[in-house]
Amino acid sequence: MRATTIHAPHDIRLSEVPDPVIEADTDAIVRVVAACICGSDLWPYRGENDITPGNTIGHEAVGVIETVGPAVRSFRPGDFVVVPFCHCDNTCAHCLAGVQSACVNHGVTSSGQAQYARVGQADGSLVKTDGMPDADLVPSLLALSDVMATGWHAAVAAGVRPGGTAVVVGDGAVGLCAVLAAREQGAERIVAMSRHESRQQVAKEFGATDLVAERGDEGVAAILDLTDGVGADSVLECVGTGSAMDTAFRIARPGSTVGFVGVPHGVELPVRTMFRRNIGLHGGMAPVRAYLPDLLQRVLDGRIEPGRIFDLTLPLDDVAEGYRAMDERRAIKVLLQP
């Protein structure tokens, strides 16, 4: 099959690799209908993560089941499914506690930017639609495989509540989905920290009531000014850098929680500040499967349209250009069509 492979920093190729096969009785093979590039894919692309040359890359996909292992009971070939980036059996103690991303049989989609992907623990991981969805729904369904669920997790972890003030640090696809999640979870005031006009526009469409373009000390001052010096009731950290986490704790009011979903790189926690001001930290890898049924229904009901984060659609053949566009911030998020 054709699949996206990474060979070195800034070296993305579309290569011929072996088709995935059923490796365990609980597996399913999915023909990818739509895939996308994640902000976390940019870490290895930029050389910030270790790379094994020639490995496939990409973990967000929706598609149609081609074949299933003999132990799979809930799905059959022809089903259209959302593929959570993290696979789970949905029955272990951790899954039952709502932390499917720490399943004892955890797995991750490894060839999402390809023609086919193998999904482990298919019965527990996959969520299917009622028949083939309309084409205009596919982008929003694709967003549910990771970024919308991850933004939702940031809001849940941060304790967003009706009537409260939520500040989202980060204006990538996850940050924008976090704005949408904060709106859906009832925040009255939602501040998006963004300095890019196209992203600011999406943030406003998703429910942001205020925009703060400044960063560092100026950004902190702007947030404190907006909140009359109190700070945010909930802070959603959607970047993963040390500077983003520093900002998050500086703008959080005493007694609040920072919900973090950005993959940490160079982060050191201000433990003394957390202790002195009673600020909590909660979050991590999103348990996508926990949120999928609810989010899917919201999409089908027309309540949310997270697919609006995709501002560039390319054929899989042009995946290298998709990486360049996101790396250079010419695109918020790139949808790929195999």
Q: In sequence order, what are the residues at sequence separation of 6 or more whose Cβ sits closer than 8 angstroms to the Cβ of residue 52?
A: none
Q: How far apart, in whole angstroms, are the C-alpha atoms of residue 255 and residue 271?
A: 14
Task: Specify the DSSP element, H or E, that contains 102.
Answer: none
Residues in the chain, pLDDT under 50: none
Q: In sequence order, what are the residues at sequence separation of 6 or more whose Cβ sits closer than 8 angstroms to the Cβ of residue 199?
A: 171, 172, 176, 332
**What are the tens digits of pLDDT across the range 135-187?**
999 999 999 999 999 999 999 999 999 999 999 999 999 999 999 999 999 99
pLDDT at position 159:
98
**What are the tens digits of pLDDT across the range 100-113?**
999 999 999 999 99
Asked if residue 266 lies in contact with residue 120, where contact means CB atoms within 8 angstroms, the answer is no
In order of start, what are the domains of the chain with their CATH numbers? Answer: 2-146+287-337 (3.90.180.10), 148-283 (3.40.50.720)
* Strand, coil or helix: 233: strand
* Strand, coil or helix: 216: helix
pLDDT at position 299:
98
| Cα 146 to Cα 15, 233, 306, distances in angstroms | 24, 25, 11
**Closest-CA residue to 313 (of 300, 303, 296, 326):** 326
